[in-house]
């Protein structure tokens, strides 16, 4: 079978591809385990050569997800599953409304329509976000049944995507599942346009001996999930029994709540264990980032994910150590 991952050149997309390669098979439209013989990673830009951990089954293609013909050309087999991760993220969506609508809504609909056009019931996994929740009436603890009142353009487009997944599945167009994510950490590389980017930067930069400029105060709390268990959640929800998911196809992955102060203490603690001299952290609030982050849910309930066997992190120190092991091999 073929796997298409949109946003496939991103951090989660690449790690998802590596996980599928290690696994070798996924449940296909037949309902049976099928060997994965092709993984197509699609993104707006792709590297010139395959990143580490990928093999000859993987191809990478650059293009515009808002172009319908391009997307239909990706989803070109009936024995297929699609992981739709491509998105304009939170900070980018606030700066450019039209871009977010074109990529997140138009692009998403092209993906869904391309899957609908195939025979059978291909599985379509859609990446959503804690940003679907917000507003003055948002409860202290959010969960799968919490009313969605997003306070960002990004969150709005994710909420619409969740509803589309539910309805396309109800209509029998495909077998859709939404992976609703808390903030994922620790991401390697450079900061991106996501308002939550500092959740990785406050760990990544100090471990690299660099200064981290924090755009929020240290009492800010966030719901976080480590990247290894985020990838495991995508695979686990893909493999889950559809009847066990039910008519609400959106499942919030587990996560733990930490304050930024706890994150700072955590990176110092794990750095010391690994004999790493951590770089400085400077608090320099950015009002635009603070407004976005203040509207997010901070406490997260994931009983449906737990019932489906989707994993959570042991603790923050474990995630930081995983990052060191995976992306700082010289240490």
Query: Any idea which residues carry the catalytic annotation?
Result: 154
How crowded is residue 287: how many other Cβ atoms within 10 Å of its Cβ?
8
Question: Using CA atoms, how far apart are residues 138 and 147, in angstroms rounded to an integer?
Answer: 8
Instruction: Provide DSSP, 105-147.
Output: IIHHHHHHHHHHTSSS--EEEEEEEGGG--STT--SEE-TTSP
Of 236, 138, 131, residue with least CA distance to 184: 131
Question: Using CA atoms, how far apart are residues 218 and 84, in angstroms rounded to an integer?
Answer: 33
| 50 touches 13 (CB < 8 A) | no
Of 76, 4, 77, residue with least CA distance to 41: 4
Residues whose CB falls within 8 Å of the CB of residue 272, separated by 6 or more in sequence, listed in order: none
| 36 touches 73 (CB < 8 A) | no
Question: Using CA atoms, how far apart are residues 301 and 291, in angstroms rounded to an integer?
Answer: 23
Structural tokens at position 148: 């969605």
Of 165, 191, 197, 196, residue with least CA distance to 178: 165
| 211 touches 279 (CB < 8 A) | yes
- Specify the 3-state DSSP secondary structure of 255: coil
């Amino acid at each position: 079978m073929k796997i298409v991952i949109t946003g496939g050149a991103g951090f989660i997309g690449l790690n998802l591809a590596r996980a599928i390669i290690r696994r070798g098979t996924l449940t296909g439209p037949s309902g049976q385990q099928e060997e994965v013989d092709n993984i197509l990673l699609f993104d707006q830009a792709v590297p010139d050569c395959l990143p580490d951990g990928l093999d000859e089954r993987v191809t990478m293609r650059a293009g515009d997800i808002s172009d319908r013909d391009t997307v239909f050309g990706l989803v070109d087999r009936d024995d297929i599953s699609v992981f739709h991760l491509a998105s304009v993220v939170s900070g980018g969506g606030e700066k450019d409304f039209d871009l977010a609508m074109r990529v997140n809504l138009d692009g998403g609909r092209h993906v869904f329509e391309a899957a609908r056009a195939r025979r059978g019931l291909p599985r379509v996994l859609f990446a959503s976000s804690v940003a679907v929740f917000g507003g003055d009436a948002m409860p202290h603890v959010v969960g799968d049944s919490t009313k969605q009142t997003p306070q960002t353009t990004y969150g709005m487009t994710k909420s619409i995507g969740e509803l589309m997944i539910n309805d396309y599945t109800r209509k029998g167009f495909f077998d859709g599942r939404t992976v609703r994510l808390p903030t994922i950490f620790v991401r390697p590389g450079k900061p991106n346009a996501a308002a939550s980017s500092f959740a990785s930067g406050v760990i990544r930069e100090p471990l690299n001996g660099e200064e981290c400029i924090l755009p929020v105060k240290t009492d800010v709390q966030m719901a976080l999930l480590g990247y290894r268990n985020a990838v495991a959640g995508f695979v686990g929800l893909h493999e889950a029994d559809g009847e066990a998911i039910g008519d609400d196809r959106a499942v919030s992955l587990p996560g733990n709540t930490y304050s930024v102060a706890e994150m700072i203490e955590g990176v110092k603690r794990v750095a010391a264990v690994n004999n790493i001299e951590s770089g400085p952290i400077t608090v320099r609030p950015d009002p635009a980032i603070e407004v976005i982050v203040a509207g997010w849910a901070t406490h997260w309930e994931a009983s449906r994910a737990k019932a489906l066997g989707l994993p959570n992190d042991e603790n923050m120190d474990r995630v930081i150590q995983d990052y060191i092991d995976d992306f700082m091999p010289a240490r």
